[in-house]
Amino acid sequence: MSFELTEDQAAIRDMALSFARDELAPNAVEWDQKKHFPTDTLRAAGDLGMGGIYVSEDHGGSALSRLDAVVIFEALSQGCPTIASYISIHNMVAGMVDSFGNDEQKAYWLPKLCRMEWLASYCLTEANAGSDAAALRTRAVRDGDSYILNGAKQFISGAGSSDLYLVMARTGEDGPGGISAFLLPKDTPGLSFGANEHKMGWNAQPTRAVIMEDARVPASALLGQEGMGFKFAMKGLDGGRINIAACSIGGAQAALDKALTYMGERKAFGQTLDRFQALQFRIADMATELEAARTFVHRAASALDAKSKDATRLCAMAKRFATDTGFEVANDALQLFGGYGYLADYGVEKIVRDLRVHQILEGTNEIMRLIVSRSEIGRMA
């Protein structure tokens, strides 16, 4: 594999960086403080093809690779990791509809999802089924030409604002084989939402419970076949994990860049901070760790594009490494600001808060270690 971006990939990156610089970065702190979900800005991203990054062109997608996608998400996160991460979640839903939906579902949902005219949320986690997602209790019961869903999903990004909810619900026995996937429009009778959660970070996107009380949908809302939902969810998460890893790298890169600018201006003991060797060494380590994480994420994305048998393992490795590294680099950048880094004005403390959750979502980093260890042990069996 090449370690250099192609000319087309560099152009895609520059487009995303421009959008991040012009549309996201100037508003990121205000959106965070006001808990404002910028739907107009998201639709502007959709106009640039960011609503269906790896959706086929037949239904309005950009038909880009997973490697192209992580380049985009890293760039967007340099403007605001919160909004970039929501765009990743939206794309995960759009990509699953494109991969597993029938012709009617694709024709109905994908054009508006790709334009981000309709926004999407991914609904897997429950209050008592987080890391153990196969233990979910939300149930869907067939009733003639309909399904009736009952249950609640927790920690759902975009909930209450999104137009489409991809819901994993149990149609059969306990365990992963009894889980199916359903497409629920926002106006589904019996569908409601909890209060917007008060969070440490990610404040520019709403996080609510998604509640289903005898929520009735037509049988055509079933994505694929009964019993395939958990497989769909896990395949979607491979891509989601490297996307969120890329968001960590982008956020941390922005924090490092802010610290470098500050160190070139701030003086102590008669010289700017960037003249002190101890701080230069810290900058070198931060930059090296970020470059290692970036290379790893590109490697995992390339494996996913190639449908490699090692893709799931590599995506788990890259997610663990990049999200841990991104948080540590952002936290070190805050330290380089001294007391000013703790103030909201500079935007670094927001990045630290935003990146912390990346070590939890899309599968906690402990679960990533479990996936990797099982693979390694199995390799030697």
Question: Under a CB-based contact definition with an 8 Å cutoff, are residues 238 and 304 in contact?
Answer: yes
Question: Under a CB-based contact definition with an 8 Å cutoff, are residues 23 and 44 in contact?
Answer: yes
Alpha helices in the chain (DSSP H): 7-19, 28-34, 39-47, 66-77, 81-100, 103-114, 229-265, 277-305, 311-336, 348-356, 365-380
Exposure pattern of 50-81 as b/e (b: 16+ CB <10 Å)? bbbbbbbeebbbbbbbbbbbbbbbbbbbbbbb
362 is catalytic: yes
Select from 243, 268, 293, 222 the least CA-distant residue to 66: 243
Among the listed residues 23, 74, 289, 362, the single catalytic one is: 362
**Strand pairing report for 146-157 and 179-185:** unpaired
Structure-block tokens of residue 228: 């395939």
In angstroms, rounded to a whole number, what is the distance separating the alpha carbons of residues 62 and 53? 5
**Residue whose tokens read 């569908």:** 191
For 102, list phi and psi in degrees, rounded to 5.
-85, 175
Question: What is the number of alpha carbons within 13 Å of residue 264 lying toward its C-beta?
Answer: 6
Answer positive or negative: Cα dihedral of 191, 192, 198, 204: positive
Name the residues annotated as catalytic. Answer: 362
